[in-house]
A and B are shown apart, each in its own frame.
Chain A
Amino acid sequence: MIRDLFKETMWSLTGNKVRSGLTILGIVIGIASVITMVAIGQGAQNSINNSIQAIGSNLIIITPGAQRGTAVSAGRGSSQTLTIDDANAIKSQVPSIKGVAPEDSRRYQIIAKGTNTNTQVIGTVPDYATVRNVTIDSGTFITGQQVSGSSRVAVLGPSARDDLFGTGADPIGQSIRIKGVNFTVIGVTVSKGGTGFNNPDDSIYVPLSAAQHYLSGDTFVTTISVAAQDQNSMTAVQQQVTDLLLQRHKISDPTQADFSIMNQSDIIATASSITGTFTMLLSSIAGISLLVGGIGIMNMMLTTVTERTREIGLRKAVGIKKICINLQFLAEAVLLTFFGGAIGVVLGWGASLLVSHFINLTAQVSLSAVLLAFGVSAGVGIIFGFYPARRAAALSPIEALRYE
């Protein structure tokens, strides 16, 4: 009985290879496209989130305000109002802080062994690595001792290293000249990606004290970066920092503040709304593919069964029971959809891997997408393969045999 069912099903499916093939193809395309689409969408979302995380997590950036005093404003960040003492005060008085990194960054001409380049030199403290997610590839980052001792040591970004010493060279122990002062290279950072003027890869890090003493010659800092403990404490930290600095700078009206504070969650919020739109777009494309695939499967199944009404009539006429005919068509539909579904999942997976390989994006195949695509296709295939066959099997054999 079961063996007959299996044999008949296999015979039907292999008997008309074009028909079975087309049905399977419909299912495969439906499932594979949904899986790939969702995988790319999620990959893109992760990649955007990672880029934002690379700037540093839960970051608050404080920059000096505009220089006033004359009628002409020199623009934001031009005044010299922030000091190391401000940074130290934030560190000691504001709770829920992971790290505070004051910096004094300017662009200088750098010379090393006959080559030279113009890049950003960031004078800072060891906390900078934590606050801005800088990791060391070889050597060490700036230590507290080097900051207090104003040591003339430098840590290179990978692009700065490539420009000065050649791609992939080991510059540790070599010396570079910044503004005529010799600095010894003690480390190279891991590449973070990114381009433009504030490219973290094209930077040179030196101790803050050394930057102030040998390079800028003043006691001000250009930026203070503060990392909050976690996302939830960001607002509180930002408020406390603002209050503290207003109090320290003796300003009573917050609108007259001589500094400005930028919050990373603003960036994240913008980015989230972008990725949200992006996910919506991809989900709707995936939904449409699923719909189209579903209609294709439905169409194929309906034609197949209609085409075979006479065969169903014949089977009934020779005395095969309704239930056996129903079971056979159900088995055919189940087999087709599962076979097609399996190929579709493998193909979708493969396509996602291919996409990850060729464009710089880690596509992530999600189980829910696989289940959804498989479930919808299988559901459509089985319902539209089984239901018309059931109806045909319920017809009287004469009507079914006469069916054209």
Chain B
Amino acid sequence: MIECKNLVKTYKNGDVETTALKGVSFKIEKGEFVSIIGPSGSGKSTLMHILGALDSPTSGEYFLDGREVSKLNDDELSEMRKNKIGFVFQAFNLLPRATVLRNVMLPLLFTSTSPKEREARAREALKYAGMDENKFYNLSNQLSGGQMQRVAIARALINEPAIILADEPTGNLDTKTSHVVMEAFQELHKKGHTIILITHEPEIAAYAERVISVRDGVIEKDEKNKQSL
């Protein structure tokens, strides 16, 4: 499903060159729940951006669902993100002043889907993400953190993506809510979704069945998580 071959990413900041990824290779199969863990500066965010088709690697190859992503242009990357990837961000990134339903329907904008179908799919995704039906017409900025993240998960699900990419999804939540959200991800995993979770907290990473540790731009450890719940 996902295959990375020797990914290298170099940033130029003036005259200073920083190499965030120094040759990373791995494979993720369909239906896996993988955590990518590492301290800040380890290159895990860069890796996540490349996996999410938000950025291109300097060299190396990245295949998602059999297509090589590393060579696509801006519009093709957009198309890729729309069809294959669902994002869950740390800062939720919901549209303020927009209803829950509208937020979830956002990725369906400018597609041929009819308004009726969009709403039906949004409702389905919200229920799937465990969102209470009487909150569907609330404005997104009136929700609690946990609720916002559920809306974000529903938004990630609406296009039935090949992978769900969660970037520190519990970073802005308290411990209790974090666990509720992580359980939601485990639910999705049980239903067969492929999930990649980026975090720096080992206890959050422990929810996944496989943990990839990144440090200084290289993979340090890649192991099955035995205590996976």
Which residues of chain B are near A317, meaning CB under 8 Å? 52, 54, 81, 87, 89, 93
B75 touches A321 (CB 8 A): yes
A315 touches B106 (CB 8 A): yes
B110 touches A397 (CB 8 A): no
Closest to A314 in B: B93
Closest to B86 in A: A318
Contact with A along B81-121 (1 / 0, CB 8 A): 11101010101010101100010001101100000000000
B106 touches A318 (CB 8 A): yes
Q: How far is the CB of A30 from chain B (nearest CB, A)?
A: 28
Q: How far is the CB of A90 from chain B (nearest CB, A)?
A: 83
Given the contacts A8-B109, A401-B93, A319 and B49 also touching, CB distance less than 8 Å: no
B55 touches A396 (CB 8 A): yes
Which residues of chain A are near B83, meaning CB under 8 Å? 319
B110 touches A324 (CB 8 A): yes
The one of B75, B81, B91 in contact with A322, judged by C-beta atoms closer than 8 angstroms, is B75
Given the contacts A15-B98, A319-B78, A398-B49, A4 and B89 also touching, CB distance less than 8 Å: no
Q: How far is the CB of A299 from chain B (nearest CB, A)?
A: 22
Q: How far is the CB of B105 from chain A (nearest CB, A)?
A: 10
The one of A4, A11, A316 in contact with B98, judged by C-beta atoms closer than 8 angstroms, is A11
Given the contacts A310-B93, A396-B54, A396-B55, A319 and B107 also touching, CB distance less than 8 Å: yes
Output the residue of B78, B82, B87, B97 with the most chain A CB within 10 A. B78
Which residues of chain A are near B65, meaning CB under 8 Å? none
In which size bucket is the chain B interface?
A: 20 to 34
Interface residues of A in 8-55 (CB under 8 A from B): 8, 11, 15-16
Which residues of chain B are near A398, meaning CB under 8 Å? 49, 54-55
A170 within 8 A of B: no
A1 within 8 A of B: yes
Interface residues of A in 294-326 (CB under 8 A from B): 310-311, 313-324
A314 touches B95 (CB 8 A): yes
Which residues of chain A are near B110, meaning CB under 8 Å? 1, 4-5, 320-321, 324
Given the contacts A317-B81, A319-B83, A15 and B97 also touching, CB distance less than 8 Å: yes
Closest to B156 in A: A318
CB contacts between A and B, total, < 8 Å: 66
Q: How far is the CA of A167 from the CA of B81 in the complex (A)?
A: 87
Which residues of chain A are near B79, meaning CB under 8 Å? 319, 321
Interface residues of A in 364-404 (CB under 8 A from B): 394, 396-398, 401
Q: How far is the CB of A343 from chain B (nearest CB, A)?
A: 24
Which residues of chain B are near A396, meaning CB under 8 Å? 54-55
Output the residue of A313, A322, A394, A398 with the most chain B CB within 10 A. A398
Given the contacts A15-B97, A310-B93, A316 and B109 also touching, CB distance less than 8 Å: no
Closest to B113 in A: A4
B95 touches A318 (CB 8 A): no
Which residues of chain A are near B75, meaning CB under 8 Å? 321-323
Interface residues of B in 200-217 (CB under 8 A from A): none
Which residues of chain A are near B91, meaning CB under 8 Å? 401
B80 within 8 A of A: yes
Given the contacts A15-B98, A398-B49, A321 and B54 also touching, CB distance less than 8 Å: no
Contact with A along B57-83 (1 / 0, CB 8 A): 000000000000000001100111111
Which residues of chain A are near B49, meaning CB under 8 Å? 398
Output the residue of A318, A320, A324 with the most chain B CB within 10 A. A318
Q: How far is the CB of B95 from chain A (nearest CB, A)?
A: 6
Q: How far is the CA of A398 from the CA of B51 in the complex (A)?
A: 13
Q: How far is the CA of A309 from the CA of B75 in the complex (A)?
A: 18
Q: How far is the CA of A181 from the CA of B152 in the complex (A)?
A: 105
Which residues of chain B are near A311, meaning CB under 8 Å? 95
Contact with A along B135-159 (1 / 0, CB 8 A): 0000000000000000000010001
Output the residue of A316, A317, A323, A324 with the most chain B CB within 10 A. A317
A319 touches B82 (CB 8 A): yes
B93 touches A319 (CB 8 A): no
Q: How far is the CA of A15 from the CA of B96 in the complex (A)?
A: 9
The one of A5, A318, A320 in contact with B155, judged by C-beta atoms closer than 8 angstroms, is A318
B109 touches A397 (CB 8 A): no
Q: How far is the CA of A317 from the CA of B110 in the complex (A)?
A: 14
B74 touches A322 (CB 8 A): yes
Given the contacts A317-B87, A397-B54, A322 and B78 also touching, CB distance less than 8 Å: yes
Given the contacts A11-B98, A15-B97, A16-B97, A318 and B107 also touching, CB distance less than 8 Å: yes
Given the contacts A318-B82, A319-B79, A324 and B54 also touching, CB distance less than 8 Å: no
A320 touches B78 (CB 8 A): yes
Q: How far is the CA of A324 from the CA of B186 in the complex (A)?
A: 35
Which residues of chain B are near A314, meaning CB under 8 Å? 93, 95, 106
Closest to A311 in B: B95
Closest to B112 in A: A1
A4 touches B109 (CB 8 A): yes
Q: How far is the CA of A323 from the CA of B73 in the complex (A)?
A: 14
Could you pull out 22 A-B pairs where Cβ atoms are within 8 angstroms? Answer: A11-B98, A11-B102, A15-B97, A313-B93, A315-B106, A316-B78, A317-B93, A318-B155, A319-B80, A319-B82, A319-B83, A319-B85, A319-B107, A319-B159, A320-B78, A320-B106, A321-B110, A394-B74, A396-B54, A397-B54, A398-B49, A398-B55
Q: What are the 4 A-B residue pairs with the smallest beta carbon separation, nearest first?
A: A319-B82, A319-B81, A318-B107, A324-B110
Q: A15-B98, A319-B107, A321-B79 are in contact. List 19 more A-B contacts (CB 8 A).
A: A1-B110, A4-B110, A8-B109, A15-B97, A310-B93, A311-B95, A314-B95, A315-B106, A315-B109, A317-B81, A318-B106, A318-B155, A319-B159, A320-B82, A320-B106, A320-B110, A396-B55, A397-B54, A398-B55
Residues of B at under 8 Å CB distance from A? 49, 52, 54-55, 74-75, 78-83, 85, 87, 89, 91, 93, 95, 97-98, 102, 106-107, 109-110, 155, 159
